[in-house]
Structure 1
Amino acid sequence: MRADILDPQALEALTAWRRARHAAPELSGHEVETARQVCAALQETRPDTLLSGLGGNGVAAVYEGAVPGPSVMIRCELDGLPIAEIGTHPHRSTVPGQGHLCGHDGHMAIVLGVARWLGMHRPARGRAILLFQPAEEDGSGAAAVLADPKFAPLRPDLALALHNYPGLPLGAAVVRDGVAHCASRGMKIVLEGRTAHAAQPDLGLSPGPVLARLIERLPGLSQGHSPEEEVFALVTVTHASLGAPSFGIAPGRAELWVTLRTRTDAGMQQLTEAVEELIAAEVTAAGLRAQHEWHDVFRHCENAPEAVAVFTRAMQAAGIPATDLDLPMRASEDFGRFSDLCPAAMLLLGAGEECAPLHAPDYDFPDALIEPGVALFTAALRAQLF
């Protein structure tokens, strides 16, 4: 790494900032204090424009070049997860039932490191945009930012992001053209029948048999074994409930939650139609009423070749070694929505073979990734704007 990017004091400060955020996670759509802390840190770098309240709690800092040129956006995430942390490190979460267990605290620290560098090295041309996006974990944040009129003047010509990835060698990276993350969405199904006395269940209409059949049949709509296959679909039952917790009432209501996952958005359209047809057939045959609603809707995330090329050159310039991983990933990412505006790519940066998995209760972002993450992004900016 070049010595003029992060000195030891700056790295120490970013590490401390990251740990403070780790101890105070906020869930999707509620990142008020996190956004405030981001704004305070960004103000020290004297951006030409600092926007807050983007798509909810999003923050963006813009660093202008001396002459016109491309707009390059680097994006990270603000939100934590509704998972109780069991880590024993001093900076573990102080918020019951919530944790930064996906590394968004570390991603923010990396992008703040880029902001520190931009504060001392303005682009020669174009502009650098640093976006701290809200609500990635529930899939709503990118869409909300894009729909916010305040974001329209920031429209980028290139969008870059990274995500740490446990299981890959620490500090090594993977980035490839094509589909990188699957599409997914949650489906909440409510089945309505008629309650009755438990002594006279024949006078009611229980949704229990249909619930049982859906639990059995919906996963049968899955296809393929890996998202590397062109035809891949996965239906996962994640929650079910039937009736009231009572011994005296035959149930009249049931609820079923399932997650649908496909390689592409086109595949998701086909899978949702098949799921809706199966549910309608079961409900009609049983004489029930039913309704469903969609949650956590993620489009597939596809890396553009030109954006991948930028990352590949930046890896070489920053001395980031390449490694390998089967792609696309089953997990989803809402960063893919920015590809509607411009070429975009997400790089996976290895968090180490011994690092706990993402979303595990004992996960913690490796601070050793802050320095290479900053080096990677600044190398990309140097090539595009300097």
Structure 2
Amino acid sequence: MIQHGSALFSNADIVELIDFRHALHLSPEISGEERDTARRVVRFLQAARPDRIITELGGHGVAAIFDSGKPGPTAMFRCELDALPIQEISDSSYRSEVPGKGHLCGHDGHMTILAALARALHREPPRHGRAVLLFQPAEENGAGAAAVIADPKFAEIEPDYAFALHNMPGLPLGFATLSAGPANCASRGMRISLSGKTSHASVPEAGRSPMRAVADLMPALTALGKGGALDENYRLVTVTHARMGEPAFGIAPGYAEIWATLRTLRDEKMDAMCAEAEALVRESASRCGLGIEITYHDVFHHCDNDAEAVKLLRQAFDDEGVSHGESDPMRGSEDFGLFGRSAKAAMFLFGSGENTPQLHNPDFDFPDALIEPGARIFMRVAANLLG
């Protein structure tokens, strides 16, 4: 397999990979809608001639398998297919052509890193075991990893090891951070519906308005979790959306919604916080004579980095001359952690620049300079584990 300092990619490779990333960036598709993105990925992968390509995995997921045909572990490398429902603000020649949608989290870059890895594995395939490249759908809404795992086709690729990366603004370009243990918080979206009775605005007492409940609940919910240190007791509640009544001056409202995101370091603490939040809603609704409905959305489980998988990544950093350090758990959530329930899994953060826009900002753009080193790190892991 690869030797230290070997040239995995030519200049022509890099140009083609950058063009591929820019083409993905032009045509973003959000969670659950990634059909054309998946087709574009399959076309690129076919040139790398994997032993098998699985499509429609957990939705529009794609998996490319490079199989040595000899006994050994299965190492999975995972990226994400989906973009965000955010309007891109950019002057670049490859800015999104889809109104209201954009690759503003860097998943286009993550896909391109795995596309580069496929090209490298074609040239230097595993000597034993298998490398699986998973292009996962629907990460942004938390549904994708669970859907992939639930798909019967997943049994064909179930890994012993799973690796991923995420670009991270605020870190120096190309600097990697990684630690064993908690990596991403658990989170879930809580949607609260409050039902009363409308009335003419001149006689509000003839109806049942949710106004007081909304005014009480927004600060009460946020008081349940104020953030702070990312330790075992970390809790954060963020009210993300609220609406009440109709946009009219003559109607006293009879309906309202509050959306809030609940966040804990680990799954075990989430149920207790949800129970406390639900009790607040019931109490406020009862006091105001309102009906309630509570539903949960975008459910993300916490992520832990396995110590052995972390060791393999750190060895790859050292072998490839990538500067790296320890990382704290991320407040943000990731569904990659589900793969860690049956595999030794780890995700590292890869610096995309200290003074660049943050993830999910309308002017964010993945730096092309990360494509080659990201692919080299993953190829080195594959070489050390499957070589």
The TM tier, using the shorter chain, reads over 0.9
Q: Provide the rounded CA distance (Å) in 2 between the counterparts of 1:162 and 1:173.
A: 9
* Residues 1:37 and 2:24 aligned together: no
Deviation, 1:153, is 1.6
Match of 2:274 among 247, 272, 276: 272
SS at match of 2:258: strand
Match of 2:232 in 1: 230
Aligned to 2:359: 358
Secondary structure of 2:8 counterpart: coil
CA distance in 1, matches of 2:330, 2:362: 21
- In structure 2, the residue matched to 1:88 is 91
Q: 8 Å contact 2:179–2:326 — kept in the other structure?
A: no
Which whole-Å CA distance do the structure 2 matches of 1:288 and 1:359 have between them?
Answer: 36
CA distance in 2 between counterparts of 1:233 and 1:247 reads 39
What residue ranges of structure 2 are gaps of 5+ in the alignment? Answer: none
Q: Distance in 2 between matches of 1:306 and 1:281?
A: 47
Distance in 2, matches of 1:359 and 1:226, equals 23
- SS of residue in 2 equivalent to 1:67: coil
Partner of 1:381: 382
Displaced runs of 4+ in structure 1, greater than 6 A? none
Give the Cα–Cα distance (whole angstroms) in 1 for the partners of residues 319 and 107 of structure 2: 25
**Aligned partners of 2:22 and 2:5: how far apart in 1?**
25
Report if aligned partners of 1:223, 1:231 keep a CA contact under 8 Å in 2: no
Deviation at 1:323, TM superposition (A): 3.4
> What's the CA shift for 1:66?
3.5
Q: CA separation in 1, counterparts of 2:200 and 2:359?
A: 46
The answer to whether structure 1 residue 137 and structure 2 residue 143 are counterparts is no
TM superposition score normalised by structure 2: 0.97
Residue 20 of structure 2: aligned partner: 17
Matches of residues 301-316 of structure 1 in structure 2 within 5 Å? Answer: 301-316=303-318
Which residue of the other structure, out of 186, 189, 214, is the alignment partner of 2:189? 186
TM-score, scaled relative to structure 1: 0.98
Quote the residue 1:155 is aligned against: 158
Judge conservation of contact 2:226–2:237 (CA < 8 Å) in 1: no
- Residue 77 of structure 2 aligns to a residue in which SS? strand
Pairwise CA distance, 1:324 = 4.5
Taking the TM superposition and a 5 Å limit, the aligned residue runs for 1:272-351 are 272-325=274-327, 327-351=328-352
Task: Find the aligned partners of 1:143 and 1:87 in 2 and give their Cα distance.
Answer: 33
The Cα shift of 1:120 comes to: 1.6
% of aligned pairs identical?
Answer: 50
- Contact kept, 8 Å, 1:85 with 1:101, in 2: the verdict is yes
User: Any stretches of 5+ residues in structure 1 without a counterpart?
Assistant: none
Paired residues in the alignment total 384
Counterparts of 2:368 and 2:6, CA distance in 1? 18
SS for the counterpart of 2:72 is strand
> Matched residues in 1 for 2:227 and 2:206: separation?
43
Greater displacement, 183-192 / 280-289: 280-289
Q: Which amino acid letter does the alignment assign opposite residue 365 of structure 2?
A: D
Kindly report the root-mean-square deviation, in angstroms, between the aligned alpha carbons of the 2 structures.
1.0
Q: Secondary structure at the match of 2:71?
A: strand
> Which deviates the most, 2-11 or 72-81?
2-11
